[in-house]
Amino acid sequence: MSSRPAAAAAPASTPAAADSALQPGAQWHNGFAGLPPVFYTRLQPTPMPALAMHARNDALAQQMGLRPEWLRGSEATEVLGGNALLPGMDALASVYSGHQFGHWAGQLGDGRAILLGEIRSPAAPQGLELQLKGAGKTPYSRMGDGRAVLRSSIREYLCSEAMHGLGVPTTRALSLVTSPQPIYRETVETAAVVARVAPSFVRFGHFEHFAARDDQDSLRKLADYVVVRYMQDVAQHASGSAERYAAFLAEVAERTARMIARWQAHGFCHGVMNTDNMSILGLTIDYGPFQFLDHYDANHICNHSDTGGRYAFARQPQVAYWNLFCLGQALLPLIGDEATTLAALERYKTALEPAMQRALGAKLGLDPARSTAPETVAGVVNPLLAMMQQHRTDYSLFWRALSQAVADDSLPALVHWFDGDAAFETWREQYQALLQPGDAAATAARMFAANPRYVLRNHLGQQAITAAQQGDWAPFARLQTVLATPYAEHPGCEDLAALPPDWAQHIEISCSS
Ligand code: AMP
Ligand code: MG
């Protein structure tokens, strides 16, 4: 093996040796680890016994410059479970702070995430970072054990890939490795490590950290790092200029708006939208007590620990703004004045509305080439959501049924989704007036590409977890396959697109993971 025990520290920035893990032309790159030490602590993952890999993502491996054959070998299990490092890796945990549930929480940091390094390859010339979640304690673990349990790791793996399949910006999952090492939560659980992949794992909280310490030099270095690496247009403005950091904030606001619009359109509740769980690149990150809505409920709270409903489904767009406001405050010393900062934050509002229009217009099958007034789209969507709320209509299934009914020219029959409510007929007429006559096939095709047949409902994740806990990974693998292409029909998988069973209502997911 070219790897060695994690206990033997990898010297920083080892040049990539001829390496069995990497594709030709791929190499480890000194990205985040090239920043000054104030941003992180170099460290090793803590080994665990008897690692076993249960999920691997060949397509992602290919895309990030890893050889899929390597991913199938024993060395990958050791590396991606945290027992070994490859030459060229430069493992570290980064420091960040943040606001949790509306309150300043002070220093947090990668308490159980360890960045192994970044790979640049012909397939991903901009570079992709590889991070292990659950690979042991770091200086930022506080009271935690640095570990993640099997159930939450299965949920993170499946959901990040489900979001990718839906076309929602997200961190990705490369592998899931388990160990029989006991992990103590409310009960004794199994340890697991998910290898996550993203261009960067920098969060709003990274900026808040240095702002809170009044360390403007580090604040600027970090902003410059993100701008130069990931935001070419913003990088046109000179380092140190107020324009650069205002444009940076506006860019983050815009990316966040695009992400939030997709969440809302797909009925996705994140559950823990703390500023330390907000990606600076506008990626969905840190899958904890998330949930895709079953029946539509604007006030749905998916996180059992969120007693006040701060992160209820319909509040997510406002919370994202609140979080961006915190980021704006952190960047204020670089931007210079409040008015410019507020103006940059306005980008969130100006970007959110059209992003929502696009996402909802696509769900309705509207032709993107013909402009439809925003109030017209809202005028159709809002009464539909009100009916769904009133009749507890299944959110994803209804949209798919609507797509099918457009294809079959059978819209009136959908009234059964609303218990025969006469309001549906009024709505149907209004909706139908919006569609182009004689364009049903094209409209339906747009709708089938915007309204997924399969979403990762809580009970589906739970079934995969229960089976995996008993050693049966088949339900997990089945979900993995189906959720990779959720808009397609998967014959024989109709059960994964059915109404949730009654017990699904009683699943309680909290922050404990
Ligand atoms: P989360 O609510 O999962 O986003 O986590 C908030 C903070 O707690 C982050 O700094 C995490 O790294 C840390 N954390 C969560 N669980 C653990 C754990 N089991 N061990 C160490 N740190 C943890
Ligand atoms: Mg987090």
Is residue 265, in this structure, part of any structural domain at all?
no
What value does the mean pLDDT of the chain take?
A: 95
Distance (Å, rounded) from C-alpha 252 to C-alpha 244?
A: 12
What pLDDT sits at residue 486? Answer: 98
Which H helix or E strand runs over 203? none
Is residue 221, in this structure, part of any structural domain at all?
no
Ligand 1 atom, smallest distance to 272 CA = 2
Last residue of a domain, one of 396, 425, 448: 448
337 is catalytic: no
What pLDDT sits at residue 371? Answer: 85
Task: Note residues around ion ligand 2 (Cβ under 5 angstroms).
Answer: 277, 286
Is residue 32, in this structure, part of any structural domain at all?
yes
Name the residue among 20, 29, 181, 6 with its Cα closest to residue 78.
Answer: 6
Is residue 41, in this structure, part of any structural domain at all?
yes
Ligand 1 atom, smallest distance to 147 CA = 19
Contacts of 147 (CB under 8 A, 6+ apart): 112, 134, 136, 181, 183, 191
Is residue 215, in this structure, part of any structural domain at all?
no
The mean pLDDT of 479-486, rounded to a whole number, is: 98
Name the residue among 116, 151, 109 with its Cα closest to residue 132.
Answer: 116
Last residue of a domain, one of 201, 231, 247: 201
Q: Over the stretch 21-33, which tens digit does the pLDDT of each residue have?
A: 999 999 999 999 9
For a mutational test of ligand 1's pocket, the pick from 94, 132, 140, i.e. the residue with the most ligand atoms closer than 8 A to its C-beta, is 140
Is residue 387, in this structure, part of any structural domain at all?
yes
Domain count, the chain: 2
Residue 13 has pLDDT above 90, yes or no: no
Distance (Å, rounded) from C-alpha 310 to C-alpha 300?
A: 10
> How far away, in angstroms, is 299 Cα from ligand 2 center?
23
The more confidently predicted of residues 504 and 54 is: 54
> How far away, in angstroms, is 275 Cα from ligand 1 center?
13
Task: Tally Cβ neighbours within 10 Å of residue 20.
Answer: 15
User: The tokens of 504 are what?
Assistant: 């699904």
Sequence ranges of the binding site: 109, 111-112, 133, 145-146, 196, 203, 277, 286
Q: Over the stretch 432-465, which tens digit does the pLDDT of each residue have?
A: 999 988 889 999 999 999 999 999 999 999 999 9
What's the domain range around 383?
366-448
| Closest residue to atom 13 of ligand 1, CA basis | 111
Catalytic member of 90, 110, 224, 276: 276
Q: Residues 82, 6: contact at Cβ < 8 Å?
A: yes
What pLDDT sits at residue 15? Answer: 41
User: Nearest ligand to the C-alpha of residue 171?
Assistant: 2
The mean pLDDT of 386-400, rounded to a whole number, is: 98
pTM: 0.96
Is residue 90, in this structure, part of any structural domain at all?
yes
Q: Is 288 in the pocket of ligand 1 (CB under 6 A)?
A: yes
Last residue of a domain, one of 177, 201, 225: 201
> How far away, in angstroms, is 149 Cα from ligand 2 center?
15
Q: Is 277 in the pocket of ligand 1 (CB under 6 A)?
A: yes
Share above pLDDT 90 across residues of the chain, in percent, rounded to a whole number? 91
Q: Is 161 in the pocket of ligand 1 (CB under 6 A)?
A: no
Q: Over the stretch 168-224, which tens digit does the pLDDT of each residue have?
A: 999 999 999 999 999 999 999 999 999 999 999 999 999 999 999 999 999 999 999
Res. 111 pLDDT band, cuts 50 70 90: very high
Is residue 404, in this structure, part of any structural domain at all?
yes
